[in-house]
Copies of this chain bind each other. A is one copy, B any other.
Amino acid sequence: MWIKKVKLGKRSYDIVVGRNIISSLGACIKKLDIGDHAYIITNSLVKMKYASSITCALKKSGFSSTIREIPDTERSKSIAILSAVINDLAKSDLRKRTFIIALGGGVVGDLSGFVASIYKRGVAYIQIPTTLLAQVDSAIGGKTAVDLKEGKNLIGAFYQPALVFSDVSLLKSLGIRQLRSGLAEAIKYGVIKDKSLFTYLEKWFKDILKHREAALEYIVKRSSVIKADIVSRDEKEEKGLRTILNFGHTIGHAIEAATGFKKYSHGEAVALGMLIAVEISQRLKYTSQGLATRVEALINAAGLPTRISGTSLRSIINASFRDKKFIGSRNRFVLTTGLGKTKIVENIPLRIIEEVLKGRIG
């Protein structure tokens, strides 16, 4: 079993990556001494596919478990669902020492992590990501949150899991759109930190879209290493290091918001956001035309969108002002200065952002 450690002092934890490793889950958790009862939060589809093998693996190591289903939609990241889950958890949590398992994609992971962070002022939790996007990105690093009407992820916590358990065999039934969404985040890691990952993706993206486990395992491992190292150095996004993970996300979030979180998946919006960020980088002479062309070619080949539709320039700009990544009234972008390299630039003239956006709309 391949292991990458996220080094955070006493909050350190392992990311385990492998194929068909569920049977060893119980033994992995046993070592952590985090409790004896697992409260598993998941959605109905994932439950149907994997709940029995997970509970078996837990039972083998002496853990009892409860399964709590939440609807399989971004709307599950709401205060209403949060409140329902926590009330249910409190009711079922009488005498045993309970920990939480997030079994699912980004929605389940973000909600479950937040539940774990606030229940009894913090109980342990484990991420078992079942989407490519969650395995390469969202399950790692302890960013947890739910949405408000006023914006995505507006309430949450930095709260690290006790373990991230990424079994790429759990990805075999993912739809193509979900694979593409995860691929977008992997492309992000290539652009911001790892030229060789980017060239790997250029060469092998088809294997990923065909669920080839060797390719999936490679990108999950590479992405895990990159994210773990960044999170270790800047857990709470205070030193400007973790900020680079927001590459493509400032405009990406705004596009998601402007289209009501319906038209584009998170990965698709990030793909669009990355294109905008690369083009702004080029406009400001941080990088060459060549890079923009190459990033667009990969995004396009992967079947991710390269043009924005169903919204207007004004809606996107307005939505971006609500984003946490805008500090006060100033803007702040992660740009690239070449494959694997980034630069954080503040107060980019609104005119430039608008011009680049305009070129991608319609």
Contact = CB atoms under 8 A, between A and B. Distances in A.
Interface of A: 79, 82-83, 86-87, 90-91, 94-97, 114, 117-122, 143, 145, 148-151, 153-158, 236, 321-322, 324, 327-329
A41 to B, nearest CB: 15
B154 A91 contact: no
A169 B25 CA distance: 58
A120 B154 contact: yes
A95 B323 CA distance: 10
Contacts of A236: 121-122
8 contacts: A86-B155, A90-B150, A90-B151, A119-B155, A121-B143, A121-B153, A121-B155, A157-B157
A327 B95 CA distance: 8
**What DSSP secondary structure best describes chain A's contact surface?**
mixed
A322 to B, nearest CB: 8
Given A83-B79, A97-B328, A121-B145, A91 B158 contact: no
B97 A156 contact: no
Given A79-B83, A90-B148, A148-B90, A157 B328 contact: no
Given A95-B329, A321-B95, A154 B122 contact: no
Given A86-B155, A87-B150, 18 more contacts: A79-B82, A87-B149, A90-B149, A90-B154, A91-B150, A114-B118, A118-B118, A118-B155, A119-B154, A119-B155, A120-B154, A120-B155, A120-B324, A121-B153, A121-B155, A121-B158, A121-B236, A121-B324
A155 B122 CA distance: 8
A97 B150 contact: no
B150 A118 contact: no
Contacts of A155: 86, 118-121
Given A87-B148, A148-B87, A121 B156 contact: yes
Contacts of A150: 87, 90-91
Contacts of A322: 94
A328 B96 contact: yes
Contacts of A157: 117-118, 121-122, 157
Nearest to A90: B150
A95 B158 contact: no
A118 B86 CA distance: 16
A158 B121 CA distance: 7
Contacts of A329: 95-96
Nearest to A37: B328
A158 B87 CA distance: 20
Contact of A148 (B86, B117, B327): B86
A81 to B, nearest CB: 11
B158 A122 contact: yes
Nearest to A322: B94
A79 B118 CA distance: 12
Nearest to A97: B328
Nearest to A158: B121
